[in-house]
Chains A and B, each alone.
Chain A
Amino acid sequence: MAPQEMDVQRALELLHMSVFSQSVSPCGKYLAAGNSYGEIGIFSLSAALSAEAKEESKKPVVCFTAHDGPVYALTSTDRQLLSASDGELKAWNWAEIVKKGCKEAWSRRPPYRSSLEVPEINSLQLNLKDNSLLLAGGDCTVHAMDLETGVFTHALRGHTDYIHCLALRDQFHECLSGSEDGSVRHWDLRTGGQVQAIEVHKYEECSRPQYGKWIRCLATDSDWMVCGGGPALTLWHLRSVTPTTVFPLAPAQHHAMFYQDLILCAGQGPTIYHLQLSGDIRARIPCSPPALHSLCLNQRSPEHKVLTAAGSSHKIDVFTNFGYRAFSLAFA
């Protein structure tokens, strides 16, 4: 193909690109972002944040095609980047990832019931306590895989529709999963059984039947859980299973996280909301993508502590002071 055609093709691709997932390297200097074309782009945060940053430092250091399908979930261990897509999980070594032509360290497929369907893996959660990885996705089960041996230990079944998100409560060896069927299920990781199922859409304070009952985002913080999606974003007290605060946000939220005394969440609008546990909206920060899919906070390196937000755009916004957008990284 002639170079101009490739440029036009790439420009079209950039126009329609969505970034679904992000993960920070263990040293805190690089950000990996996975997009809808199966590519993973590695951005250098230290270069982009330094005083002499130019336009070039906001482009990926390296960008390679990791999967055939979109990269839905990314997470990092001490030495590897794990990426999940349609039915497969691949691991890449961070040490070699910055060089061109990186090959995956290993690749696994969780055991699916039927070999015909290839369900996507929507969410990955790393459980450092017993060095295992939880994956969940289109086959409505949560799989637990031991990272040392690669053996799939548990398969937690119970959901009736595909799972959007996972959250971990490691002090209790439990995990939570939110799904399209509107329930948040609580699993005990030691026994592999279900502790309880919370049907969020049945509680009238938070249910919004006009949007549906799907639960897209989950976050936990010891006894508290925040979940949202079709129903409004609500703060739950897990011990008593009561919805304590319903946040008055109109758009559906795609990602929520606890940060210090705030809850940060982002969803279908081009804004990041800073919410307080009492229900007040402390701030609405505008960002460039029209809808946001993923928020990532770099806690691993204190001098590069930034919040990055990515969504339905080829740009990834970087917030140094969480109150305003500093600049954007972009796929090229």
Chain B
Amino acid sequence: MDRPIPKIIVPKASPFDPWLWTLAWRDSRRSRRRLFLFMSSIVLGIAALVAINSFGDNLARSIDEQAKELVGADLVVSSGKEFAPDMYRFLRGVGLERSYETAFPSMIFFPKTQDTRLAQVKAVSGKFPYYGTWEAKPANSVKAFREGNQAKKPVAMVDDALLTQFNIRPGDSVKVGNVSFLIVGRSVKIPGETAVTATVAPSVYIPQQFLPETGLLQRGSRATYRIYYLFNKGANVDQFAKSVEPKLDKAGINYDTVSERKRDTGRAFEDLTKFLNLVAFVALLLGCVGVASAVHLYVKEKIAPVAVLRCIGVSGKQAFLIYLIQTTLMGLLGAILGAILGSAVQLLLPEVFADFLPVKVSLAISWISVLQGIGIGLLITIAFALLPLLVIRKVSPLRTLRTSYEEDVTGPDPLQWGIYGLIGLFITGFAYLQTHDWKVALGFTVGLLVAFAILTGLGRLLMVLVRKFFPVSWSYVWRQGLSNLYRPQNQTLILVISIGLGTFLIATLYLTQTLLLGRVQLSASGRQPNMVLFDIQTTQKEGVSQLVQQYKMPIIQNVPVVTMRLAAINGRPVEAIQKDTAAKIPDWALTREYRVTYRDTLIGSEKIDQGKLQKMESPTDTARISIEKGYLQRLKLKIGDKLTFNVQGALIPTIVGSAREVDWNRVQTNFLVVFPNGVLEQAPQFHVLMTRVDSAGHSAAFQRALVTRFPNVSAIDLGLILRTIDEILGKVSFVIRFMALFSIITGLLVLGSSVVISKYQRMQESVLLRTLGASQRQILYINLVEYLLLGLLAAFSGIILSIAGSWALAHFVFETPFTPDVIPLLAVAATVTGITILIGLFNSREVLVRPPLEVLRAEA
């Protein structure tokens, strides 16, 4: 008893202890392939992240390098109305060289095929673009167009896609207004334009000197006037632009310089890549869930050896470190593979984004993105792997003596909550970095959490239900397959989560796309107008109405439109309000051009919200105008406020008499501001007529007649808009689908690896069953039933979730009724289930074909 008590030396658990690394290495020898399989599920997520970031990087660099080609000039000034004479004189004196452009929408007519279509007519002169090239077919057509322009010949360049659509070739002619032009070439791409802008408004280029002859531009017509400048080399364009900005601003002229466009374009694409980063991140998280579940199974298997190690004297922390080292190394390997794959996938992205890119992207490996991808991937993987790994610290050595020893952990582990918190923080932080908006970042995290929670809940519910209402009377195969869903070490939860989330992404994409299209289609159906005629001059009003009736089409609406600007609010000039930062009225509301109509009644899409619609009692009255409700709030106005409008130079005082609620979803000519009759009748104006045409043939015939009789009147066919929107949505959704693909393949990888991980257990069971006399066919069916149920549940959970999400989107964002199309969703469910079954069966085929004994020996 007097003897000094021997000292206890507790070995330090250091992650740098070489012995731990050695043991981790040795221990992994026999399970390296499996370990790697766990990590394979993060490869795609990291690949997606690295690909998007690298591409974003290269894009930013390319935008930088080719900034001048974005604009095609050193400076562009543009105005929604003709330049005033003295301003024009000033602008003509600026820069080294200038090109002029007047752009406006107009009907064009191809005599050869008798086709008409609304196009963006650009009357041009000069050598624009000064930077970059105007891509055209044939290659020398631009030269031909310029020479023709100089020689005052009626020549035209027409958008390539437009010509292809109507099967017109260079050499044919196009009629714009009253003039017939010879088409000299197809315009493929001009600096500053992307494939998407070309889809929205295909361009027709004509020489500027023919503009008056076309007879298209009349007072009140909508047109944009631009001047493109080339400056001397080394001239400080930005400084010059800044110096004339006040002068231009006052005249309502916008300008754009190379550095400004560079910034805007860069920002737009940064936003895009950040959004896609979030999509990629979802794939990564999905992979992490896979990793966590795989590591969980792995740890379960390692509990017995850990107990032995603990008996021999290894501390809990050391044992934990051994397996942390293993998972970290495998995670690193997965991350590096992901980065390599991502750098390769990047090569595909210019194709994916082709229609959106303003510049040619030169691709190089972006080391920053690679390192970032590896870093983020590794961190999040370790965080997720830590959750199951923590258990190792608490493994009791007593397990060596008692195999049935059940609980190692008493109560929840506080560290586990710490890690959950860390993961949440990490996800929110990442989302914040991408969006720079805490609300959105939190929304993203909470949204993910909710999706996970719902899927987990559904998975649990399935297990409980199957257990509770177990169909005892069913055949053996079904009973066995069903019980596989809830027996120990089942894969139900993880598969429902990963496959469900993948399905959710795809189905939501599909639903939102149809939702947006449905909105437009809704207006195209029934007795709603589907053709809008605009730019009708007052003198043409009668004639156009007659033509419409002649073609047996109804005149649904025929309204006058007067353009004006706001001059003062309650006597205070808008310039003063603009300077007053406390006023908090958005600039665009003050400077925009207002298109206003006048009438004394409400139309079907309107309701009075405050005040009442008032007629002019006498011609000397101040006009009582009606303003749209939301707009009233944005301008911080109330009933009784005085607004002064500038109508082509004449100041007109008004009083806000009422606020209207407007249903913008109806195809109507809706207006922010409505004047009473008796004020604007004499102001310069044009008319808009709405009608309905029931067949494409009828529509074409009418448009032909319209173009011949009233060349300046434009017709917008809603069918055409519908097709255009469809096309653009198609392009956008292709990009998103490409990204969602990563999530889905990750889901399949998780599925594949979890099936492989549980293979051994299944083998033993199947071998036992076979020993007991079950046929191969029966075992096949048992597996089939299990994967069928899993796949079905996962697919339907995902679809239900996406229907809920899309409904919320429809209800709260687009405010339209939402009725999902069932058949395509069923097709998605069937496909997902089918793939699940295929992968499941493919992985368990070994159990079926190999003799039982051999299986046992190989796996022992």
**Bound pair: A and B?**
no
